[in-house]
Amino acid sequence: MLRLGEAGVIVAYSCGMPAFIPIASRVVGGENAKPHSWPWQVSLQIIEPGRQIHVCGGTLIATNWVLTAAHCINRNRKYLVYLGKHNLKKNEPGSLGIKPEKIIVKEDWDPTRVRNDLALIKLSQRVRPNNKIQPACLPPAGSILPNRFFCFITGWGRLSTGGPLPEVLQEARMPIVDYATCSRPNWWGSIVKTTMVCAGGDGNVSGCNGDSGGPLICRPGRVWQVHGITSFVSSQGCNIFQKPTVFTRVSAYIDWIRKVGVCMLKQSAGGLTFSRQFTSQPRKAHPVYPS
């Protein structure tokens, strides 16, 4: 999508290339994100009489589709999807609150074992990408990042176990923990499956309550890709040593995302463009809780 920018310069908006470059620093424990530097970040809010409450994050992956966690969805709740937000307590120019047209939870979502923890939200209207709202790219199907590859978690989750909720979007740098390591008995053991991806585990940086559904965002090339959906942490706390944050691995579900009918982004000689093609198609045995 193109627009005429200042001085007549044509600006192209595509996936995974924010207009405001992220800080992307190595700070331990996370920090305030630069405003609108993660333009695909979504705040999923529930609607209650006289107020709206942030409950989960999400990732814009097309002009009318948001990716989030299945455990964020309650059929008895009414939701509003906020895009273009930085400070949840302020009215911000350019931000949008859009009602879902429909919500599709993965049909084999298993809340007991926290497997297949993903859902898609179709927005009731398409958004026009701009410098504050833009989709993230999806990774290639089946792709797995190497151990210690650095990614970022973003969200409005608690700053520590039982701690306060931030007003502004947070970002934290986290290394990928490969499956061989994450599935060791003294890490997550058999709870972790190959359809998941782990990151963190140093006891300092992690996801926490309120980050659920948001992205593990990585840049293996020139664009940012959403490689994970924040799923769960340890019941002992958010930032426990050798209990990294566990994410649903997005690359394991690309076929399902296509079958739902999401308008995908494709690589072309001229860059990334919107495709017009739609597809038709011993504490306890389970010491986890949704983050």
Distance CA 149, CA 151 (A): 7
Q: How many Cβ atoms are within 10 Å of 190's Cβ, its own excluded?
A: 8
Q: What is the DSSP letter of 182?
A: H
Q: What are phi and psi of 283, to 5 degrees?
A: -105, -50
Distance CA 18, CA 75 (A): 33
In angstroms, the Cα distances linking 267 to 22, 68, 142 are: 23, 24, 17
Distance CA 269, CA 255 (A): 24
CB-CB contact of 272 with 137 (8 Å): yes
DSSP 188-205: TGGG--TTEEEE--SSS-
Q: How many residues comprise the chain? A: 291
Residue tagged active-site, from 36, 71, 86, 227:
71
- Strand 196-199 to 170-177 pairing: antiparallel
Annotated active-site residue 117? The verdict is: yes
* Closest alpha carbon to 254 in 281, 214, 223: 281
Residue tagged active-site, from 14, 37, 212, 291:
212
**Structure token digits, residue 69:** 């966690």
Cα angle, residue 146 at apex, residues 141 and 151 outer, rounded to 5°:
85
Tell me which amino acid residue 10 is: I
Find the helix or strand (DSSP H, E) in which 254 lies.
helix 254-260
Residue tagged active-site, from 43, 95, 117, 231:
117
- Strand, coil or helix: 199: strand
Annotated active-site residue 71? The verdict is: yes
Task: List, by residue number, the catalytic residues.
Answer: 71, 117, 212
